[in-house]
Amino acid sequence: MKRHISSLKNRAALWLWLLELLLLMLAVAAAAWLRFMQDSDSYLFFVGTAPIRILVVAVFITTAMAAFGLYQVHVRHNRMDFFLRLLLSFAFGGIGLLVLYYLVPSAYIGRGVLALALMLGWVVVFLLRLAMQHLGHSEKFRRRVLVLGAGQNADLINSRLRRRSDRRSFSLMGFVAVPGQPVLVPNALSLEPGVGLADLAQRLQVHEIVVALDERRGGLPMEAMLECIQRGIDMTDLSTFFEREAGVVSLSIADPSWLVFSGGFDHSMPRRLSKRLFDLVAASALLLVAWPAMVVVAACVWWESGLPILYRQTRVGEDGRSFELVKFRSMRNDAEKDGVARWAAADDDRSTRVGRFIRMTRLDELPQLFNVLRGEMSFVGPRPERPQFVDVLSQDIRYYSVRHCMKPGLTGWAQLRYPYGASVRDAEEKLKFDLFYVKNHGLLFDLMILLQTVEVVLFRRGAR
């Protein structure tokens, strides 16, 4: 069963957002009732005149929660991490509301109501998330999955989705070996169909069968699979299963036919127009906010190491076309005086003092906003690489060139999900996430990545 970006997990995140939006609106209404409980006329006047103001509070808070990664469908937070992120979300959301009230006084709901609403809202959301975490540990709320195959491909589920947090949306019922194919999974997980695949699946109350054979030619039990479909049991390809559960395209098992027929790769005119509009709005808004910081960074770069302030470097963009990427210079002028391209390294001795700081805080990348405005880059997409590295990576890594079917991005899914890469091995791991984005990109996905990039910058993850 194919899953696009609107898969079960993403729909669950959308429903969670809507539920928390409603609960926060109720928290504001409850705060107003507590504030005006001795004055029913004032309370009725507040409720009758403030539905939009109540919605604005809820939207600001949930947007801050998204920015701190609390709607990520593929990331699990421990209790303390979640506590801090939720606390920061309400703090930053509250600060944003105070700024809004200063700019638009008509949106103001009152200090007492706002303070009570933030406290009540935090408690309600915290208790909701705890209840959901408890329910998520219950077998009753997971999809029961049976794997057809017990060889090398099937065992990838054990090796790559082995942690409990990786299996929060499904329960693995076992592996069904296929005659003539090797069995590599633990014996305790290997099952014998006996009465037939469909009957076994029905006896185990399976919702989904994942097809993970090492060799499909002549090995697929089509009659048994057809019978499963007729009984309402979903059949899912292993590549699609990994794409859905891990948010990656697994290079070792994805074949060209799956990439062709699995859907995605939306390059329709409405999608291209919406992406370009998103790029222009996001880049212009950030440029409007960040220009004072850009002036300060430019002055610091000039003060420490003189001119040039900007560093221009050739990168590979859409359809393999080259363009000049612009950044604030973070390294010495003689960093590559021999003309040999090198990966950036941790604690790179070529970096200046200012350079180390602006690379860590991502301030060095702000001039790329002009690349976005010129249409050479998108705000969200795979990060562009240098031609020298692209030549090597295209030879060493399967499907590497697929990432060039769209514009490179200032930020991207791989930047959120994988730390900074400085080797062929890292590039291969990041490609799994880049291909997932290329297949599943959409306006809501772009917005989610943009908001979660705030978390990466604030917590200094992935920079080098």
* pLDDT at res. 427: 86
Q: For strand 409-411 and strand 378-380, is the pairing parallel, antiparallel, or unpaired? A: parallel
Question: Judging by DSSP bridges, how do beta strands 310-316 and 409-411 pair with one another?
Answer: unpaired
- Which residue do the tokens 């200032």 mark? 410
Task: Say how many Å lie between the first and final Cα of the chain, rounded.
Answer: 39
Helix axes 269-305, 353-360, angle to 10 degrees: 150
Q: Give the pLDDT confidence score for residue 65 in this predicted structure.
A: 86
Q: Model confidence over 39-55: pLDDT tens digits?
A: 665 556 566 667 788 88
Give the relative orientation of helices 424-440 and 443-458 as an angle to the nearest 10 degrees: 140
What pLDDT score was predicted for residue 6? 39
Plot region of 347 (φ>0 → left; ψ -120 to 50 → alpha; else → beta): left
Architecture of domain 139-252: 3-Layer(aba) Sandwich (3.40)
Q: What is the pLDDT of residue 11?
A: 66
Relative to beta strand 322-328, strand 310-316 is antiparallel
C-alpha distances (whole Å) from 431 to each of 105, 284, 380 are 47, 29, 15
The whole-model pTM stands at 0.69
Mean pLDDT computed over 399-421? 86
CA dihedral 25, 136, 2, 437 (to 10 degrees): 70
Determine the 3-state secondary structure of 316 from DSSP.
strand
**For the chain, which residues make up each domain, given as ranges?**
8-136, 139-252, 269-332+346-458
Question: Which distant-in-sequence residues (6+ apart) come within 8 Å of 164 by Cβ?
Answer: none
250 vs 366, residue with greater confidence: 366
Using a 10 angstrom Cβ sphere, with 0-12 exposed, 13-18 middle and 19 or more buried, the burial of residue 464 is middle
- Which residue type does 159 have? S
Name the pLDDT band for 277 (thresholds 50, 70, 90): very high
Q: What's the whole-number mean pLDDT along residues 280-287? A: 92
**Quick one: pLDDT at residue 290?**
92
pLDDT tens digits along 147-195: 998 888 888 888 877 765 566 678 888 899 888 888 888 888 888 766 7
Distances (CA, A) of 276 to 210, 263, 307, 377, 407: 37, 22, 33, 10, 10
For residues 458 and 338, the model is more confident at 458
- Position 40: which residue type? S
pLDDT in tens, 50-108: 778 888 999 999 988 887 777 765 555 556 667 777 888 898 889 889 988 888 887 88
Q: Tell whether the model's pLDDT for residue 253 goes beyond 70.
A: yes
pLDDT of 66 reads 82
CA–CA separation, 444 vs 454, rounded Å? 16
